[in-house]
Chain A
Amino acid sequence: MGRFLLRRLASAAVVLFTVSVLTFLIFEVIPNGNPALRLAGRTATPANIAAVEKAYGFNKPVYVQYLKTMEEVFTGRIVSYAQNLNVVSQLRQDLPVTASLVLGAAVVWLVLGIVLGLTAGLHAGGPIDKAITVLNFLGISAPSFVIGYVLIYLLSFKLHVFPSSGYVGLSDPLGWADHLVMPWFSLAILYTGIYSQVLRASVVDTLSEDHVRTAKAKGLSRRRVLVHHVLRTSLIPIVSLSGLDIAAVLGGSAIIIEVVFNLPGIGNYASQAIGALDVPPVLVITLFGAFAVVIFSTVADILYAALDPRIRATGSR
């Protein structure tokens, strides 16, 4: 296990390094990306611009700038060009919002996905299964922002059930949930569809396996066979999938929902920074996303090994 973690950490470091370099370079190459221009203001003279460049070090070679920026990132001193705000502290403010959104949505999609997938799998081939499959594909195909706006229209605008935008902190739990219900569902529908399909297939496979037949032959109750033998084995792939999906959403896919529902989270911050061609926040958020993916995928792998002892022994089934 120790060696496994070490190898993962090493590859994580490589990934993070590569991501940081690429992100940095992308912004160097973008036209109109000269931040000195904007920092200096609209009426800047060439002399002003030169002065700004010197002050910020924009006239130094790329790799020097890169190293300087990385230093700032890791010491938490990095400051955005546009608003002169400390990026890291801004991120710290925004993280709870995104986390509430993503983790809440994850709970929704896991619960719904498992229930629907299990039901479909148990009734495979029948009308219930077909109905659920249709629903799944609808969920997968509908873009999340469309769902978001439709929900806002119906539930906020027309029926006044939920507020249409904004975020309320956890100090007011009811308000917090109230503002997040629609975002949760908008984000979750796509994943519900996917997970439901995956679990359905997994259940159908597991049901036909010999050890399930043995469990029946042992005289175990139908419920025990279902939960302990069928579900437990079919859930294993779902566990590792969710690790990756949560990471990916945390790292960025939540952008759309945050913008639609005006939630002041990381995604929203990123969207604004990109629009303003503001490198530091984008860089830090990208790094954060990469970091999240690496951590979560490692956790998912560990969990998979914990759940399936065959992996521990041989590295494969």
Chain B
Amino acid sequence: MTAPAGDAVGPLLELDHLRMLFPVREAGGKRAHVHAVDDVSVAVGEGETLGLVGESGCGKTTLARCAVRLLKPTAGTVRFGGHDITSLGPRSLRPYRAQMQIVFQDPQGSLNPRKRVGQIIGAGLRLAGGGRGDDGRVGRLLNQVGLAPEHANRFPHEFSGGQRQRIGVARALAVNPRLIVLDEPVSALDVSIQAQVINLLDDLQEELGLSYIFVAHDLSVVRHVSDRIAVMYLGKVVELSPAEELYNRPVHPYTLSLLAAIPVPDPRLSRSRARHAVRGELPSPIDPPGGCRYHTRCPAATDLCRQVEPPLTVYPGGHQAACHHPLNVSSADIAAAVRSPASSRSAGPDLPAAPGPSASDLRESAAR
């Protein structure tokens, strides 16, 4: 579907050991920080889609916003097209703004209800120096997203959720970006409409050579569009894998439980599966657990997991995971494994010594 992860050309977007901390005042009056993103390194190549998946509080939205500099990271670097844009001020960021766009989750809230659709889409054009005679361009953009040029005269509330999302995409396209961040773009839509918007995004990527960062809380949504998928938990990347492989061969126990938690629309299948719901509650991102952050809920946690943070390890085939007892890897994989440069600086030095339990063993011990 798309170009491979950008080693050949140099990645379009590089996030290096990114940290984003938000100060917060605790009940007792102490100063504390929410570790929204804690030492994350990912890259997106030209024409590639990176899926970013995780549950509430994992930091995916924060990471996506740092990537397009809607937020200024607390530490680490953001490089776009080879240029370091981490600390640039608003004026210096301007030339980059057109190249990286964002489409938001809420189709209702992200469009100004008092402006006509044509104005909303055209605003970006004007700011990028498009000039006035660009009604033709707005009409062409509307066509590109599957709407009609006449729709430019209507207001957002006259459209359905799916159509509003298309308008949001058209707005992002207006300035000819190279990268679009899609922050849960279909979560608020009905399932049958989700597919329409995803198909549209797919087509646009092929036609325009766009790169995407597709943020979602649900693994089933990103499957279709992603080349690689990163799974996040409590501010860290726990697994990074070529798309289809994540579903066939999850390596990190959290990924396995995410997959297992997704209900299957097939009664016999879903009722015969050994269901194991993830135990426990998400720990507080203000005071995350030591060692491996997932250890409080992992059925296979050992003392090592409780004490030492596992490094992000690269297995043959480009599949990366941060776990001391990885699933679905053979001894040969373990022997050939290398520490990833994207690994957290706080992670321990040792790579996994042996494969972890099998997926079915894990499920059994979880069910107990």
Binding site for B on A (CB under 8 A): 3, 313, 315
Contact at B29–A3, with CB atoms within 8 Å?
A: yes
Contact at A313–B27, with CB atoms within 8 Å?
A: yes
> Which residues in window 20-45 of B have CB below 8 A to A?
25, 27, 29
State in angstroms the CA–CA spacing of A186 and B87 once bound together.
60
> Smallest distance from the beta carbon of A12 to chain B beta carbons, Å?
20
A-B contact pairs, 3 of them (CB 8 A): A3-B29, A313-B27, A315-B25
* Neighbouring A residues of B27 by C-beta, 8 Å: 313
> Smallest distance from the beta carbon of B58 to chain A beta carbons, Å?
21
* Neighbouring A residues of B25 by C-beta, 8 Å: 315
Q: How large is the interface on B (under 10, 10 to 19, 20 to 34, 35 or more residues)?
A: under 10
State in angstroms the CA–CA spacing of A3 and B25 once bound together.
12
State in angstroms the CA–CA spacing of A199 and B25 once bound together.
31
State in angstroms the CA–CA spacing of A3 and B29 once bound together.
8
State in angstroms the CA–CA spacing of A315 and B25 once bound together.
9
State in angstroms the CA–CA spacing of A315 and B27 once bound together.
10
Q: What does DSSP make chain B's interface, helix, strand, loop or mixed?
A: loop
> Smallest distance from the beta carbon of B208 to chain A beta carbons, Å?
41
> Smallest distance from the beta carbon of A89 to chain B beta carbons, Å?
43
* Neighbouring B residues of A315 by C-beta, 8 Å: 25
Q: What does DSSP make chain A's interface, helix, strand, loop or mixed?
A: helix
> Smallest distance from the beta carbon of A299 to chain B beta carbons, Å?
21
> Smallest distance from the beta carbon of B27 to chain A beta carbons, Å?
7
State in angstroms the CA–CA spacing of A284 and B83 once bound together.
63
* Neighbouring A residues of B29 by C-beta, 8 Å: 3
> Smallest distance from the beta carbon of B354 to chain A beta carbons, Å?
46
State in angstroms the CA–CA spacing of A315 and B23 once bound together.
13
> A4: nearest residue on chain B (CB-CB)?
B29
* Neighbouring B residues of A313 by C-beta, 8 Å: 27
State in angstroms the CA–CA spacing of A313 and B286 once bound together.
15
> Smallest distance from the beta carbon of A313 to chain B beta carbons, Å?
7
* Neighbouring B residues of A3 by C-beta, 8 Å: 29
State in angstroms the CA–CA spacing of A313 and B29 once bound together.
10
> B25: nearest residue on chain A (CB-CB)?
A315
* A-B pairs with lowest CB-CB distance, top 3: A3-B29, A313-B27, A315-B25
> Smallest distance from the beta carbon of B273 to chain A beta carbons, Å?
34
State in angstroms the CA–CA spacing of A81 and B29 once bound together.
49
> A312: nearest residue on chain B (CB-CB)?
B27
State in angstroms the CA–CA spacing of A313 and B28 once bound together.
10
State in angstroms the CA–CA spacing of A315 and B26 once bound together.
10
> Smallest distance from the beta carbon of B285 to chain A beta carbons, Å?
15
Cβ proximity bits B304-332 to A, threshold 8 Å, 1 near / 0 not: 00000000000000000000000000000
> Smallest distance from the beta carbon of B30 to chain A beta carbons, Å?
11
> Smallest distance from the beta carbon of A128 to chain B beta carbons, Å?
30
State in angstroms the CA–CA spacing of A3 and B28 once bound together.
10
> Smallest distance from the beta carbon of A308 to chain B beta carbons, Å?
15
> Smallest distance from the beta carbon of B36 to chain A beta carbons, Å?
16
> A1: nearest residue on chain B (CB-CB)?
B29
> Smallest distance from the beta carbon of A312 to chain B beta carbons, Å?
8
State in angstroms the CA–CA spacing of A82 and B27 once bound together.
54
State in angstroms the CA–CA spacing of A298 and B25 once bound together.
20
> B24: nearest residue on chain A (CB-CB)?
A314
> Smallest distance from the beta carbon of A315 to chain B beta carbons, Å?
7
> A2: nearest residue on chain B (CB-CB)?
B29
State in angstroms the CA–CA spacing of A3 and B26 once bound together.
13
> A315: nearest residue on chain B (CB-CB)?
B25
> Smallest distance from the beta carbon of B76 to chain A beta carbons, Å?
27
> Smallest distance from the beta carbon of A302 to chain B beta carbons, Å?
16
> Smallest distance from the beta carbon of A314 to chain B beta carbons, Å?
8
State in angstroms the CA–CA spacing of A283 and B29 once bound together.
38
State in angstroms the CA–CA spacing of A121 and B29 once bound together.
39
State in angstroms the CA–CA spacing of A249 and B29 once bound together.
35
State in angstroms the CA–CA spacing of A217 and B302 once bound together.
47
State in angstroms the CA–CA spacing of A220 and B25 once bound together.
37
> B26: nearest residue on chain A (CB-CB)?
A313
State in angstroms the CA–CA spacing of A217 and B76 once bound together.
51
Cβ proximity bits B239-281 to A, threshold 8 Å, 1 near / 0 not: 0000000000000000000000000000000000000000000
